[in-house]
A and B are shown apart, each in its own frame.
Chain A
Amino acid sequence: MDFFIQLVVNGLSVGFIYGISAMGFVMIFKSSSVLNFAHGELLAMGAYIFLVLVTWLELPVYAAFLLTMAACFSLGFIVERLFLRPLIGEPLIFVIMLTVGLAAMFKGLILLIWGGNLHTFPDFLPSWLSLNWGSVAVQPVYTLALVVGTIFLVLFGIFFKFSSQGIYMRSVADNQRAALSLGVNVKKVFALSWAIAALVAGMSGIILGIINGVNVHDLSAIGLKVFPVVILGGLDSIGGAIVGGLIIGLLETLTGGYISPSLRDVVPYIVLVFILMVKPYGLFGQVEIERV
Protein backbone atom coordinates (compact mmCIF):
# COMPACT_ATOMS: atom_id res chain seq x y z
CA MET A 1 0.00 0.00 0.00
CA ASP A 2 2.82 2.37 0.87
CA PHE A 3 4.35 1.65 -2.48
CA PHE A 4 1.11 2.61 -4.22
CA ILE A 5 0.73 5.83 -2.24
CA GLN A 6 4.34 6.77 -2.93
CA LEU A 7 3.78 6.16 -6.63
CA VAL A 8 0.64 8.28 -6.62
CA VAL A 9 2.45 11.09 -4.79
CA ASN A 10 5.36 10.90 -7.22
CA GLY A 11 3.03 10.79 -10.20
CA LEU A 12 1.05 13.80 -9.04
CA SER A 13 4.28 15.73 -8.35
CA VAL A 14 5.71 14.99 -11.77
CA GLY A 15 2.32 15.59 -13.34
CA PHE A 16 1.93 18.98 -11.73
CA ILE A 17 5.26 19.97 -13.25
CA TYR A 18 4.10 18.79 -16.66
CA GLY A 19 1.00 20.88 -16.10
CA ILE A 20 2.82 24.10 -15.28
CA SER A 21 5.22 23.45 -18.15
CA ALA A 22 2.20 23.31 -20.44
CA MET A 23 0.63 26.52 -19.13
CA GLY A 24 2.74 28.79 -21.34
CA PHE A 25 1.98 26.67 -24.36
CA VAL A 26 -1.76 26.96 -23.74
CA MET A 27 -1.49 30.71 -23.31
CA ILE A 28 -0.03 31.23 -26.77
CA PHE A 29 -2.52 28.87 -28.33
CA LYS A 30 -5.39 30.62 -26.57
CA SER A 31 -4.60 34.09 -27.81
CA SER A 32 -3.31 33.37 -31.32
CA SER A 33 -4.11 29.70 -32.16
CA VAL A 34 -0.40 29.10 -32.72
CA LEU A 35 1.10 25.75 -31.71
CA ASN A 36 4.45 26.76 -30.33
CA PHE A 37 7.03 24.10 -31.17
CA ALA A 38 9.73 26.17 -29.54
CA HIS A 39 8.17 25.76 -26.10
CA GLY A 40 10.78 23.29 -24.87
CA GLU A 41 13.52 25.69 -25.88
CA LEU A 42 11.81 28.50 -23.99
CA LEU A 43 11.90 26.27 -20.90
CA ALA A 44 15.59 25.69 -21.52
CA MET A 45 16.31 29.41 -21.94
CA GLY A 46 14.76 30.07 -18.52
CA ALA A 47 16.84 27.33 -16.90
CA TYR A 48 20.09 28.55 -18.49
CA ILE A 49 19.47 32.21 -17.64
CA PHE A 50 18.88 31.16 -14.02
CA LEU A 51 22.02 29.02 -14.15
CA VAL A 52 24.13 31.99 -15.26
CA LEU A 53 22.71 34.26 -12.59
CA VAL A 54 23.10 31.73 -9.78
CA THR A 55 26.40 30.02 -10.54
CA TRP A 56 28.40 32.55 -12.57
CA LEU A 57 27.20 35.80 -11.05
CA GLU A 58 26.44 34.16 -7.68
CA LEU A 59 23.34 36.22 -7.06
CA PRO A 60 21.03 35.25 -4.19
CA VAL A 61 18.33 32.81 -5.32
CA TYR A 62 15.39 35.19 -4.92
CA ALA A 63 17.04 37.94 -6.93
CA ALA A 64 18.13 35.46 -9.57
CA PHE A 65 14.59 34.09 -9.83
CA LEU A 66 13.03 37.51 -10.26
CA LEU A 67 15.69 38.56 -12.77
CA THR A 68 15.15 35.37 -14.74
CA MET A 69 11.41 36.05 -14.82
CA ALA A 70 12.06 39.57 -16.10
CA ALA A 71 14.55 38.29 -18.69
CA CYS A 72 12.13 35.61 -19.94
CA PHE A 73 9.31 38.14 -20.14
CA SER A 74 11.50 40.40 -22.31
CA LEU A 75 12.66 37.44 -24.36
CA GLY A 76 9.06 36.54 -25.21
CA PHE A 77 8.41 40.16 -26.12
CA ILE A 78 11.45 40.33 -28.40
CA VAL A 79 10.69 37.01 -30.09
CA GLU A 80 7.18 38.20 -30.89
CA ARG A 81 8.44 41.55 -32.12
CA LEU A 82 11.24 40.24 -34.34
CA PHE A 83 9.88 36.98 -35.69
CA LEU A 84 6.13 36.71 -35.27
CA ARG A 85 4.85 40.21 -35.88
CA PRO A 86 5.83 40.24 -39.57
CA LEU A 87 3.67 37.14 -40.00
CA ILE A 88 0.44 38.58 -38.57
CA GLY A 89 -2.27 38.02 -41.13
CA GLU A 90 -0.40 35.19 -42.88
CA PRO A 91 -1.74 31.61 -42.80
CA LEU A 92 -1.25 29.90 -39.43
CA ILE A 93 0.86 27.10 -40.86
CA PHE A 94 3.61 29.63 -41.71
CA VAL A 95 3.65 30.82 -38.13
CA ILE A 96 3.78 27.26 -36.79
CA MET A 97 6.66 26.41 -39.13
CA LEU A 98 8.40 29.54 -37.89
CA THR A 99 8.22 28.23 -34.32
CA VAL A 100 9.93 25.03 -35.51
CA GLY A 101 12.69 27.25 -36.86
CA LEU A 102 12.82 29.19 -33.62
CA ALA A 103 13.26 25.92 -31.73
CA ALA A 104 16.29 25.02 -33.84
CA MET A 105 17.71 28.50 -33.45
CA PHE A 106 17.41 28.57 -29.65
CA LYS A 107 18.78 25.07 -29.33
CA GLY A 108 21.77 26.00 -31.48
CA LEU A 109 22.31 29.16 -29.52
CA ILE A 110 22.28 27.30 -26.20
CA LEU A 111 24.64 24.62 -27.50
CA LEU A 112 26.94 27.34 -28.80
CA ILE A 113 27.11 29.16 -25.48
CA TRP A 114 26.81 26.39 -22.88
CA GLY A 115 27.54 23.20 -24.80
CA GLY A 116 25.57 19.98 -24.44
CA ASN A 117 26.85 18.89 -21.04
CA LEU A 118 24.75 18.55 -17.94
CA HIS A 119 24.94 21.54 -15.62
CA THR A 120 23.49 21.61 -12.13
CA PHE A 121 22.22 24.34 -9.87
CA PRO A 122 23.78 24.57 -6.42
CA ASP A 123 21.51 22.98 -3.84
CA PHE A 124 19.62 25.90 -2.38
CA LEU A 125 16.34 24.35 -1.29
CA PRO A 126 15.89 24.26 2.50
CA SER A 127 15.13 20.79 3.83
CA TRP A 128 11.98 21.93 5.66
CA LEU A 129 10.32 21.99 2.29
CA SER A 130 10.25 18.20 2.20
CA LEU A 131 7.07 16.64 3.49
CA ASN A 132 6.80 13.26 5.22
CA TRP A 133 3.82 11.16 6.20
CA GLY A 134 5.09 7.85 7.56
CA SER A 135 6.96 6.18 4.76
CA VAL A 136 5.63 8.51 2.07
CA ALA A 137 7.89 11.42 1.24
CA VAL A 138 7.68 14.44 -1.03
CA GLN A 139 10.98 15.94 -2.10
CA PRO A 140 11.48 19.64 -1.42
CA VAL A 141 11.54 20.60 -5.10
CA TYR A 142 8.05 19.19 -5.62
CA THR A 143 6.71 21.19 -2.69
CA LEU A 144 8.33 24.23 -4.25
CA ALA A 145 6.72 23.42 -7.60
CA LEU A 146 3.34 23.04 -5.93
CA VAL A 147 3.60 26.39 -4.18
CA VAL A 148 5.02 28.38 -7.10
CA GLY A 149 2.78 26.67 -9.65
CA THR A 150 -0.34 27.33 -7.60
CA ILE A 151 0.56 30.97 -7.16
CA PHE A 152 1.02 31.38 -10.92
CA LEU A 153 -2.24 29.53 -11.63
CA VAL A 154 -4.29 31.68 -9.29
CA LEU A 155 -2.68 34.89 -10.58
CA PHE A 156 -3.35 34.02 -14.21
CA GLY A 157 -6.86 32.82 -13.43
CA ILE A 158 -7.64 36.20 -11.87
CA PHE A 159 -5.87 38.04 -14.68
CA PHE A 160 -7.80 36.37 -17.50
CA LYS A 161 -11.16 36.31 -15.74
CA PHE A 162 -11.35 39.76 -14.22
CA SER A 163 -8.75 42.24 -15.48
CA SER A 164 -9.55 44.33 -18.53
CA GLN A 165 -6.30 43.41 -20.26
CA GLY A 166 -7.06 39.72 -19.69
CA ILE A 167 -10.52 40.08 -21.19
CA TYR A 168 -9.07 41.91 -24.21
CA MET A 169 -6.65 39.01 -24.67
CA ARG A 170 -9.49 36.50 -24.61
CA SER A 171 -11.50 38.62 -27.03
CA VAL A 172 -8.69 38.48 -29.57
CA ALA A 173 -8.53 34.71 -29.24
CA ASP A 174 -12.29 34.55 -29.74
CA ASN A 175 -12.89 36.83 -32.71
CA GLN A 176 -9.99 38.82 -34.03
CA ARG A 177 -12.00 40.92 -36.49
CA ALA A 178 -14.50 42.01 -33.86
CA ALA A 179 -11.69 42.80 -31.43
CA LEU A 180 -10.04 44.94 -34.10
CA SER A 181 -13.30 46.80 -34.78
CA LEU A 182 -13.48 47.79 -31.11
CA GLY A 183 -9.93 49.10 -31.09
CA VAL A 184 -8.31 46.25 -29.16
CA ASN A 185 -4.60 46.49 -29.83
CA VAL A 186 -4.10 43.03 -31.33
CA LYS A 187 -0.34 43.39 -31.71
CA LYS A 188 0.00 44.28 -28.05
CA VAL A 189 -2.10 41.27 -27.10
CA PHE A 190 0.12 38.91 -29.10
CA ALA A 191 3.28 40.44 -27.65
CA LEU A 192 1.90 40.16 -24.14
CA SER A 193 0.82 36.54 -24.57
CA TRP A 194 4.29 35.56 -25.82
CA ALA A 195 5.90 37.45 -22.97
CA ILE A 196 3.68 35.77 -20.36
CA ALA A 197 4.16 32.37 -21.97
CA ALA A 198 7.94 32.76 -21.94
CA LEU A 199 7.79 33.85 -18.31
CA VAL A 200 5.80 30.78 -17.25
CA ALA A 201 8.05 28.58 -19.38
CA GLY A 202 11.10 30.07 -17.68
CA MET A 203 9.60 29.36 -14.26
CA SER A 204 8.96 25.72 -15.08
CA GLY A 205 12.37 25.47 -16.77
CA ILE A 206 14.01 26.41 -13.48
CA ILE A 207 12.02 23.79 -11.57
CA LEU A 208 12.80 21.11 -14.16
CA GLY A 209 16.44 22.16 -13.96
CA ILE A 210 16.45 21.62 -10.20
CA ILE A 211 15.00 18.12 -10.65
CA ASN A 212 16.91 16.78 -13.65
CA GLY A 213 19.81 19.17 -14.03
CA VAL A 214 20.12 21.62 -16.87
CA ASN A 215 20.61 20.06 -20.26
CA VAL A 216 19.20 21.45 -23.47
CA HIS A 217 18.27 18.07 -24.95
CA ASP A 218 16.31 16.94 -21.89
CA LEU A 219 14.51 20.25 -21.52
CA SER A 220 13.46 20.49 -25.14
CA ALA A 221 12.18 16.90 -24.91
CA ILE A 222 9.88 18.08 -22.12
CA GLY A 223 8.59 20.60 -24.64
CA LEU A 224 7.31 17.66 -26.66
CA LYS A 225 5.78 15.98 -23.63
CA VAL A 226 3.63 19.08 -23.38
CA PHE A 227 1.65 17.97 -26.44
CA PRO A 228 -0.15 14.95 -24.94
CA VAL A 229 -0.73 17.00 -21.79
CA VAL A 230 -2.47 19.88 -23.54
CA ILE A 231 -4.32 17.71 -26.01
CA LEU A 232 -5.68 15.69 -23.12
CA GLY A 233 -6.62 18.75 -21.07
CA GLY A 234 -8.00 20.70 -24.01
CA LEU A 235 -5.71 22.99 -25.99
CA ASP A 236 -7.23 26.19 -24.73
CA SER A 237 -7.76 25.53 -21.05
CA ILE A 238 -5.13 26.47 -18.46
CA GLY A 239 -6.83 24.43 -15.77
CA GLY A 240 -7.10 21.60 -18.28
CA ALA A 241 -3.35 21.72 -18.80
CA ILE A 242 -2.83 21.10 -15.09
CA VAL A 243 -5.34 18.23 -14.93
CA GLY A 244 -3.91 16.78 -18.15
CA GLY A 245 -0.45 16.99 -16.63
CA LEU A 246 -1.56 15.25 -13.44
CA ILE A 247 -3.18 12.40 -15.40
CA ILE A 248 -0.16 11.87 -17.65
CA GLY A 249 2.18 12.04 -14.64
CA LEU A 250 0.11 9.50 -12.71
CA LEU A 251 -0.14 7.12 -15.64
CA GLU A 252 3.61 7.32 -16.21
CA THR A 253 4.65 6.50 -12.66
CA LEU A 254 1.99 3.83 -12.16
CA THR A 255 2.99 2.11 -15.41
CA GLY A 256 6.64 2.42 -14.49
CA GLY A 257 6.01 1.03 -11.01
CA TYR A 258 3.61 -1.84 -11.73
CA ILE A 259 4.05 -2.87 -15.35
CA SER A 260 7.43 -2.02 -16.74
CA PRO A 261 9.64 1.09 -16.71
CA SER A 262 10.11 0.79 -20.47
CA LEU A 263 6.36 1.19 -21.05
CA ARG A 264 6.03 4.40 -19.06
CA ASP A 265 6.37 6.61 -22.12
CA VAL A 266 3.86 4.59 -24.14
CA VAL A 267 0.84 3.92 -21.92
CA PRO A 268 -0.11 7.60 -21.45
CA TYR A 269 -0.48 7.94 -25.22
CA ILE A 270 -2.70 4.87 -25.42
CA VAL A 271 -4.97 6.29 -22.71
CA LEU A 272 -4.88 9.62 -24.53
CA VAL A 273 -6.30 7.99 -27.67
CA PHE A 274 -9.18 6.47 -25.71
CA ILE A 275 -10.03 9.71 -23.92
CA LEU A 276 -10.01 11.65 -27.18
CA MET A 277 -12.43 9.15 -28.69
CA VAL A 278 -14.92 10.10 -25.98
CA LYS A 279 -14.03 13.79 -25.64
CA PRO A 280 -12.56 15.05 -28.91
CA TYR A 281 -11.93 18.57 -27.58
CA GLY A 282 -9.98 17.21 -24.62
CA LEU A 283 -11.27 17.07 -21.08
CA PHE A 284 -11.71 20.82 -20.62
CA GLY A 285 -11.40 22.16 -24.16
CA GLN A 286 -13.97 24.62 -25.38
CA VAL A 287 -16.53 22.94 -27.56
CA GLU A 288 -16.90 24.87 -30.79
CA ILE A 289 -20.14 26.86 -30.56
CA GLU A 290 -21.77 26.56 -33.95
CA ARG A 291 -24.48 28.97 -34.98
CA VAL A 292 -26.38 28.74 -38.20
Chain B
Amino acid sequence: MLLAVNNISVVYSDVIQVLKGVSLSVEKGKIISLLGSNGSGKTSTLKAISGLLKPENGKVTDGEIIFQGRHIENQSPEIITRMGIIQVLEGRQPFKYLTIEENLRVGTAIRPNKSYKDDLEMVYNYFPALLARRRARAGYCSGGELQMLVIGRALMAKPELLLLDEPSLGLAPLIVREIFGIIKKINEEQGATIVLVEQNANMALQIAHYGYVMENGKIVMEGKAEDLVENPDIKEFYLGMAASGDMRAYRDVKSYRRRKRWL
Protein backbone atom coordinates (compact mmCIF):
# COMPACT_ATOMS: atom_id res chain seq x y z
CA MET B 1 0.00 0.00 0.00
CA LEU B 2 1.54 3.28 -1.14
CA LEU B 3 -0.86 5.61 0.62
CA ALA B 4 -3.43 5.01 3.31
CA VAL B 5 -5.83 7.69 4.48
CA ASN B 6 -7.57 6.56 7.65
CA ASN B 7 -10.70 8.26 8.83
CA ILE B 8 -9.46 11.86 8.51
CA SER B 9 -11.39 14.96 9.48
CA VAL B 10 -10.40 18.32 8.05
CA VAL B 11 -11.32 21.66 9.55
CA TYR B 12 -10.65 25.11 8.05
CA SER B 13 -10.05 28.13 10.31
CA ASP B 14 -10.79 25.93 13.36
CA VAL B 15 -14.55 26.01 12.70
CA ILE B 16 -15.53 24.87 9.21
CA GLN B 17 -15.52 21.11 8.99
CA VAL B 18 -15.29 19.85 5.42
CA LEU B 19 -14.20 16.23 5.80
CA LYS B 20 -15.91 13.92 8.27
CA GLY B 21 -14.02 10.69 8.41
CA VAL B 22 -12.63 9.98 4.94
CA SER B 23 -10.72 6.77 4.36
CA LEU B 24 -9.13 5.60 1.18
CA SER B 25 -6.18 3.57 0.11
CA VAL B 26 -4.00 3.79 -2.95
CA GLU B 27 -2.02 0.90 -4.36
CA LYS B 28 1.22 1.44 -6.20
CA GLY B 29 0.91 1.79 -9.96
CA LYS B 30 -2.85 2.28 -10.00
CA ILE B 31 -5.13 5.14 -11.03
CA ILE B 32 -7.63 5.93 -8.30
CA SER B 33 -10.53 8.18 -9.15
CA LEU B 34 -12.30 10.38 -6.64
CA LEU B 35 -15.75 11.48 -7.80
CA GLY B 36 -18.35 13.75 -6.30
CA SER B 37 -20.25 16.95 -6.85
CA ASN B 38 -18.99 20.45 -6.02
CA GLY B 39 -18.19 20.98 -2.37
CA SER B 40 -18.15 17.30 -1.51
CA GLY B 41 -14.57 17.47 -0.24
CA LYS B 42 -12.54 16.00 -3.09
CA THR B 43 -10.09 18.88 -3.34
CA SER B 44 -9.75 19.10 0.44
CA THR B 45 -8.87 15.42 0.53
CA LEU B 46 -6.10 15.99 -2.01
CA LYS B 47 -4.82 19.01 -0.10
CA ALA B 48 -4.80 17.06 3.15
CA ILE B 49 -2.53 14.52 1.44
CA SER B 50 -0.21 17.05 -0.23
CA GLY B 51 0.06 19.36 2.79
CA LEU B 52 -1.41 22.33 0.93
CA LEU B 53 -4.16 22.65 3.54
CA LYS B 54 -1.69 24.37 5.80
CA PRO B 55 -1.20 27.64 3.89
CA GLU B 56 -5.00 27.88 3.61
CA ASN B 57 -5.47 27.64 7.34
CA GLY B 58 -6.84 24.11 7.19
CA LYS B 59 -5.89 21.22 9.46
CA VAL B 60 -6.31 17.48 9.73
CA THR B 61 -7.88 17.25 13.19
CA ASP B 62 -8.48 13.53 13.33
CA GLY B 63 -7.26 10.36 11.69
CA GLU B 64 -4.00 9.62 9.95
CA ILE B 65 -2.39 9.74 6.52
CA ILE B 66 0.35 7.20 5.98
CA PHE B 67 2.61 7.36 2.92
CA GLN B 68 5.20 4.63 2.48
CA GLY B 69 4.90 3.80 6.17
CA ARG B 70 5.38 7.37 7.40
CA HIS B 71 2.81 9.66 8.96
CA ILE B 72 2.39 12.80 6.86
CA GLU B 73 -0.76 14.44 8.22
CA ASN B 74 -0.23 18.18 8.82
CA GLN B 75 3.31 18.12 7.43
CA SER B 76 4.49 21.10 5.43
CA PRO B 77 4.30 20.90 1.63
CA GLU B 78 8.11 21.27 1.43
CA ILE B 79 8.53 17.95 3.25
CA ILE B 80 5.68 16.10 1.56
CA THR B 81 6.74 17.07 -1.97
CA ARG B 82 10.24 15.84 -1.21
CA MET B 83 8.78 12.47 -0.19
CA GLY B 84 7.37 12.25 -3.72
CA ILE B 85 3.77 13.49 -3.58
CA ILE B 86 3.02 16.21 -6.13
CA GLN B 87 -0.38 17.80 -6.52
CA VAL B 88 -1.51 19.41 -9.75
CA LEU B 89 -3.78 22.21 -8.62
CA GLU B 90 -7.29 22.74 -9.84
CA GLY B 91 -7.83 25.34 -12.54
CA ARG B 92 -4.30 25.15 -14.04
CA GLN B 93 -1.96 27.39 -12.18
CA PRO B 94 0.87 28.17 -14.56
CA PHE B 95 3.62 30.67 -13.85
CA LYS B 96 2.22 33.18 -16.30
CA TYR B 97 5.35 35.24 -16.86
CA LEU B 98 7.69 32.29 -17.23
CA THR B 99 8.14 30.49 -20.52
CA ILE B 100 6.85 26.95 -20.95
CA GLU B 101 10.34 25.54 -20.47
CA GLU B 102 11.00 27.65 -17.37
CA ASN B 103 7.67 26.46 -15.97
CA LEU B 104 8.78 22.88 -16.48
CA ARG B 105 12.11 23.59 -14.79
CA VAL B 106 10.33 24.70 -11.63
CA GLY B 107 9.16 21.09 -11.42
CA THR B 108 12.72 20.14 -10.47
CA ALA B 109 12.55 22.23 -7.29
CA ILE B 110 12.52 19.16 -5.03
CA ARG B 111 15.75 17.85 -6.53
CA PRO B 112 17.78 20.91 -7.49
CA ASN B 113 21.30 20.63 -8.92
CA LYS B 114 20.43 17.44 -10.76
CA SER B 115 20.36 17.24 -14.55
CA TYR B 116 16.87 17.79 -15.90
CA LYS B 117 17.50 17.40 -19.64
CA ASP B 118 16.25 13.80 -19.87
CA ASP B 119 13.11 14.68 -17.96
CA LEU B 120 12.40 17.62 -20.25
CA GLU B 121 12.67 15.26 -23.19
CA MET B 122 10.33 12.79 -21.53
CA VAL B 123 7.73 15.51 -20.93
CA TYR B 124 8.04 16.82 -24.50
CA ASN B 125 7.52 13.24 -25.71
CA TYR B 126 4.22 12.98 -23.89
CA PHE B 127 3.16 16.51 -24.81
CA PRO B 128 4.62 17.43 -28.22
CA ALA B 129 2.41 20.53 -28.23
CA LEU B 130 4.63 21.95 -25.46
CA LEU B 131 7.82 21.51 -27.46
CA ALA B 132 6.51 23.77 -30.20
CA ARG B 133 5.69 26.46 -27.64
CA ARG B 134 8.66 26.05 -25.31
CA ARG B 135 9.81 29.66 -25.57
CA ALA B 136 6.33 31.17 -25.27
CA ARG B 137 5.16 32.79 -22.06
CA ALA B 138 2.68 30.51 -20.33
CA GLY B 139 0.24 33.38 -19.85
CA TYR B 140 -0.37 33.46 -23.58
CA CYS B 141 -0.99 29.73 -24.07
CA SER B 142 -4.35 28.03 -24.52
CA GLY B 143 -6.20 26.16 -21.79
CA GLY B 144 -5.35 22.77 -23.27
CA GLU B 145 -1.66 23.65 -23.52
CA LEU B 146 -1.70 24.90 -19.95
CA GLN B 147 -3.26 21.69 -18.64
CA MET B 148 -0.54 19.73 -20.43
CA LEU B 149 2.01 22.14 -19.01
CA VAL B 150 0.96 21.71 -15.37
CA ILE B 151 0.83 17.92 -15.68
CA GLY B 152 4.23 17.95 -17.38
CA ARG B 153 5.60 20.26 -14.69
CA ALA B 154 4.51 17.78 -12.01
CA LEU B 155 6.11 14.90 -13.97
CA MET B 156 9.43 16.79 -13.90
CA ALA B 157 9.45 16.14 -10.15
CA LYS B 158 9.34 12.37 -10.80
CA PRO B 159 6.55 11.88 -8.29
CA GLU B 160 5.79 8.59 -6.56
CA LEU B 161 2.21 9.75 -6.28
CA LEU B 162 0.58 12.26 -8.59
CA LEU B 163 -2.58 14.03 -7.41
CA LEU B 164 -4.56 15.48 -10.30
CA ASP B 165 -7.33 17.91 -9.48
CA GLU B 166 -9.90 18.19 -12.26
CA PRO B 167 -7.71 18.10 -15.35
CA SER B 168 -10.82 18.35 -17.57
CA LEU B 169 -12.02 21.65 -16.11
CA GLY B 170 -13.15 24.02 -18.85
CA LEU B 171 -11.62 22.10 -21.75
CA ALA B 172 -13.18 21.02 -25.03
CA PRO B 173 -14.23 17.34 -25.12
CA LEU B 174 -11.59 16.44 -27.71
CA ILE B 175 -8.80 17.95 -25.62
CA VAL B 176 -10.15 16.19 -22.53
CA ARG B 177 -10.02 12.88 -24.38
CA GLU B 178 -6.44 13.58 -25.47
CA ILE B 179 -5.30 14.53 -21.97
CA PHE B 180 -6.94 11.51 -20.35
CA GLY B 181 -5.28 9.30 -22.96
CA ILE B 182 -1.92 10.76 -21.99
CA ILE B 183 -2.63 10.30 -18.28
CA LYS B 184 -3.35 6.64 -18.90
CA LYS B 185 -0.17 6.34 -20.96
CA ILE B 186 1.89 7.96 -18.22
CA ASN B 187 0.44 5.51 -15.72
CA GLU B 188 1.23 2.53 -17.91
CA GLU B 189 4.69 3.56 -19.12
CA GLN B 190 6.09 5.31 -16.05
CA GLY B 191 4.26 3.19 -13.51
CA ALA B 192 3.09 6.44 -11.91
CA THR B 193 0.46 6.13 -9.22
CA ILE B 194 -2.30 8.68 -9.78
CA VAL B 195 -5.20 9.97 -7.72
CA LEU B 196 -7.62 11.64 -10.09
CA VAL B 197 -10.31 14.01 -8.87
CA GLU B 198 -12.98 14.57 -11.48
CA GLN B 199 -16.46 15.86 -12.21
CA ASN B 200 -16.36 14.10 -15.53
CA ALA B 201 -17.17 10.68 -14.05
CA ASN B 202 -17.47 9.05 -17.43
CA MET B 203 -13.92 9.88 -18.54
CA ALA B 204 -12.45 9.27 -15.10
CA LEU B 205 -13.94 5.79 -14.75
CA GLN B 206 -12.72 4.85 -18.21
CA ILE B 207 -9.08 5.15 -17.21
CA ALA B 208 -9.23 4.50 -13.44
CA HIS B 209 -8.72 1.12 -11.81
CA TYR B 210 -10.64 1.93 -8.65
CA GLY B 211 -13.04 4.69 -7.68
CA TYR B 212 -14.44 6.43 -4.64
CA VAL B 213 -17.57 8.59 -4.56
CA MET B 214 -17.74 11.45 -2.07
CA GLU B 215 -20.66 13.45 -0.76
CA ASN B 216 -20.75 15.99 2.02
CA GLY B 217 -17.27 15.22 3.26
CA LYS B 218 -17.75 11.46 3.37
CA ILE B 219 -17.04 8.53 1.12
CA VAL B 220 -20.42 7.13 0.19
CA MET B 221 -19.40 4.44 -2.26
CA GLU B 222 -16.29 2.72 -3.53
CA GLY B 223 -15.43 -0.07 -5.90
CA LYS B 224 -13.59 -1.17 -8.98
CA ALA B 225 -14.06 1.25 -11.85
CA GLU B 226 -15.77 -1.34 -14.04
CA ASP B 227 -18.24 -2.14 -11.23
CA LEU B 228 -18.93 1.54 -10.54
CA VAL B 229 -19.77 2.16 -14.20
CA GLU B 230 -22.41 -0.53 -13.94
CA ASN B 231 -23.83 0.74 -10.66
CA PRO B 232 -27.39 2.07 -11.16
CA ASP B 233 -26.88 5.05 -8.81
CA ILE B 234 -23.66 6.13 -10.47
CA LYS B 235 -25.31 5.77 -13.84
CA GLU B 236 -28.21 7.90 -12.76
CA PHE B 237 -26.46 10.64 -10.81
CA TYR B 238 -23.06 10.91 -12.46
CA LEU B 239 -23.34 9.48 -15.94
CA GLY B 240 -26.75 10.99 -16.63
CA MET B 241 -28.49 7.78 -17.58
CA ALA B 242 -31.52 6.04 -16.17
CA ALA B 243 -31.04 2.54 -14.82
CA SER B 244 -32.30 1.25 -18.12
CA GLY B 245 -29.58 3.13 -19.95
CA ASP B 246 -31.74 5.89 -21.50
CA MET B 247 -30.89 9.55 -21.15
CA ARG B 248 -33.09 11.11 -18.47
CA ALA B 249 -34.06 14.69 -17.86
CA TYR B 250 -32.78 16.11 -14.62
CA ARG B 251 -36.29 16.95 -13.38
CA ASP B 252 -37.26 13.29 -13.57
CA VAL B 253 -34.77 12.32 -10.90
CA LYS B 254 -36.65 12.10 -7.65
CA SER B 255 -34.66 13.94 -5.08
CA TYR B 256 -36.07 12.04 -2.09
CA ARG B 257 -34.72 8.82 -3.49
CA ARG B 258 -31.33 10.34 -3.86
CA ARG B 259 -31.38 11.54 -0.26
CA LYS B 260 -32.34 8.13 1.04
CA ARG B 261 -29.58 6.42 -0.79
CA TRP B 262 -26.70 8.79 -0.31
CA LEU B 263 -26.97 10.25 3.15
Cα distance A185–B113 when bound, in Å? 14
A164 near B113 with CB under 8 A, answer: yes
Please give, as numbers and ranges, the residues of chain B lying within 8 Å of A178 by CB-CB distance.
89, 93-95, 150
Q: For residue B78, which residue of chain A has the nearest CB? A: A185
Cα distance A175–B81 when bound, in Å? 17
Could you count the A-B residue pairs with CB atoms below 8 Å apart for me: how many are there?
Answer: 85
Partner of B98, one of A170, A177, A181, A182: A170
Cα distance A177–B53 when bound, in Å? 11
B110 near A165 with CB under 8 A, answer: no
* A287 vs chain B, min Cβ distance (A): 10
- The dominant DSSP class at the A interface is helix
B55 near A184 with CB under 8 A, answer: no
Please give, as numbers and ranges, the residues of chain B lying within 8 Å of A289 by CB-CB distance.
96-97, 137, 139-140
Let me know if B112 is at the binding interface, CB within 8 A: yes
Please give, as numbers and ranges, the residues of chain A lying within 8 Å of B150 by CB-CB distance.
178
Let me know if A183 is at the binding interface, CB within 8 A: yes
Cα distance A163–B110 when bound, in Å? 15
B110 near A174 with CB under 8 A, answer: no
A182 near B106 with CB under 8 A, answer: yes
Partner of A168, one of B52, B97, B106, B140: B106
Let me know if A86 is at the binding interface, CB within 8 A: no
Please give, as numbers and ranges, the residues of chain A lying within 8 Å of B93 by CB-CB distance.
175, 177-178, 181
Let me know if B193 is at the binding interface, CB within 8 A: no
Partner of A183, one of B88, B97, B109: B109
**Interface size range on B against A:** 20 to 34
Instruction: Convert B67-110 into 0s and 1s, putting 1 for each residue whose CB lies closer than 8 angstroms to a CB of A.
Output: 00000000001100110001111000111111000110111111
Please give, as numbers and ranges, the residues of chain B lying within 8 Å of A181 by CB-CB distance.
50, 52, 77, 81, 86-89, 93
Please give, as numbers and ranges, the residues of chain B lying within 8 Å of A180 by CB-CB distance.
52, 55, 77
Please give, as numbers and ranges, the residues of chain A lying within 8 Å of B103 by CB-CB distance.
171
Known A182-B81, A183-B81, A289-B140; judge A177-B109 contact (CB<8 A).
no
Q: For residue A88, which residue of chain B has the nearest CB? A: B55
Known A89-B55, A181-B52; judge A175-B96 contact (CB<8 A).
yes
**Interface size range on A against B:** 20 to 34
B96 near A177 with CB under 8 A, answer: no
Cα distance A276–B81 when bound, in Å? 43
* B224 vs chain A, min Cβ distance (A): 30
B97 near A286 with CB under 8 A, answer: yes
Between A177, A178, A179, A182, the greatest number of chain B beta carbons within 10 A of the residue's beta carbon is seen for A182
Partner of A175, one of B50, B95, B110, B157: B95
Known A181-B50, A181-B86, A183-B86; judge A170-B97 contact (CB<8 A).
yes
Please give, as numbers and ranges, the residues of chain B lying within 8 Å of A184 by CB-CB distance.
106, 109
* A167 vs chain B, min Cβ distance (A): 5
Known A181-B77, A291-B139; judge A175-B107 contact (CB<8 A).
no
Instruction: Convert B55-69 into 0s and 1s, putting 1 for each residue whose CB lies closer than 8 angstroms to a CB of A.
Output: 100000000000000
Please give, as numbers and ranges, the residues of chain A lying within 8 Å of B113 by CB-CB distance.
164
Let me know if B154 is at the binding interface, CB within 8 A: yes
Cα distance A165–B81 when bound, in Å? 17
Cα distance A175–B139 when bound, in Å? 12
* A291 vs chain B, min Cβ distance (A): 7
Between B82, B87, B95, B139, the greatest number of chain A beta carbons within 10 A of the residue's beta carbon is seen for B95
B106 near A167 with CB under 8 A, answer: yes
Partner of B94, one of A164, A165, A167, A175: A175
* A184 vs chain B, min Cβ distance (A): 4
Binding site for A on B (CB under 8 A): 50, 52, 55, 77-78, 81-82, 86-89, 93-98, 102-103, 105-110, 112-113, 137, 139-140, 150, 153-154, 157
What are 26 A-B residue pairs whose CB atoms fall within 8 Å in the complex? Answer: A89-B55, A165-B112, A168-B109, A170-B95, A170-B98, A171-B95, A171-B98, A171-B103, A174-B95, A174-B97, A177-B52, A178-B94, A179-B109, A181-B77, A181-B81, A181-B88, A181-B89, A182-B81, A183-B81, A183-B82, A183-B86, A183-B157, A185-B78, A286-B97, A289-B97, A289-B137
